[in-house]
Amino acid sequence: MSPRPYVTIFSTMTIDGRIASSTRFSELSCPYDLARLRLLRGAHEAVMVGANTVLIDNPTLRKRLEPRTNKYYRVVVDGRLRLTPGLRIFREPGPKVIVVTASDDEEKIAMIRKTGADVIVSREPSDPRSEVNLREALQILYEQYGIQSVLVEGGGSLNYSLLRRRVVDELRATITPYIFGAGVSIVNDYGGTGFRNRNESPKLVLKCTELCPCGQCVHIVYSVLDKCCEPVLREPPIQTCLSKEIERAVKGLSV
């Protein structure tokens, strides 16, 4: 098995595990949680999101706090290559964008490359749905770009796919004081069965539980034990508990 980056999933969710409501509303983070996200971006060499996140939220994924590395890429997993050049991630200046797809549509690939983005084509072997081969894609990110750590910001489908393929090393979640009752889960298998029991579930070990400085949210961190292979980094790119750091960062931003 070729080397791969250290992979951290970070999501902010409601008490019932939703990262977005049935209307796709997803603004859950307090200022401290936003600072936590940007500190995590600053510690990782790439940020990864799914195509739905880009199409619905239209983010730039640029903002970082206290970068620990100058290397920073923005990676979008878009199996069917639905992205368009008009999205902010392509239009506004920022770090290199890498689109990972299972599509071999040469016209769409050329259109995305004209924006200055790179396109990686990687498919699951013998998969009729032509899903992205995430294990291979992560290996390519390390071998071709030297990326040693990736922060995954969702959505739920991408989180599930990475966990199913056993390429996640750390799972972080901020639990907010809201309930949606429907919508997108932090780990979402659209139309599938998901992990059907405890034996199929990824094996997690709790590493940190801390009250957010806002006093209303709780942040939890788990290490993932059952992995397909070890990452190139043997330790997380940033310390596990971050409340003191984000409190200091928010105070610094408000000065």
User: Can you give the pLDDT of all 255 residues of the chain as single tens digits?
Assistant: 679 999 999 999 999 999 999 999 999 999 999 999 999 999 999 999 999 999 999 999 999 999 999 999 999 999 999 999 999 999 999 999 999 999 999 999 999 999 999 999 999 876 655 689 999 999 999 999 999 999 999 899 999 999 999 999 999 999 999 999 999 999 999 878 999 999 999 999 999 999 999 999 999 999 999 999 999 999 999 999 999 999 988 887 764
Q: Return the pLDDT at 183.
A: 95
User: What is the Cα–Cα distance from 208 to 174, expressed in whole angstroms?
Assistant: 11
> What is the domain partition of the chain in residue ranges?
6-78+146-254
Other C-beta atoms closer than 10 Å to the C-beta of 85 total 12
Identify the three-state secondary structure at position 163. helix
With CA atoms as reference, report the closest residue to 108 among 80, 141, 146, 138: 80
pTM passes above 0.85: yes
Q: Return the pLDDT at 129.
A: 58
Axis-axis angle for helices 243-254, 31-43 (nearest 10): 110
Q: Return the pLDDT at 255.
A: 41
Q: Return the pLDDT at 192.
A: 85
Report the CATH number of the 6-78+146-254 domain: 3.40.430.10
The answer to whether 4 touches 135, Cβ cutoff 8 Å, is yes
- Is residue 215 packed enough to be buried (19+ CB in 10 Å), middle (13-18) or exposed (0-12)? exposed
Q: Return the pLDDT at 254.
A: 63
Q: Return the pLDDT at 1.
A: 63
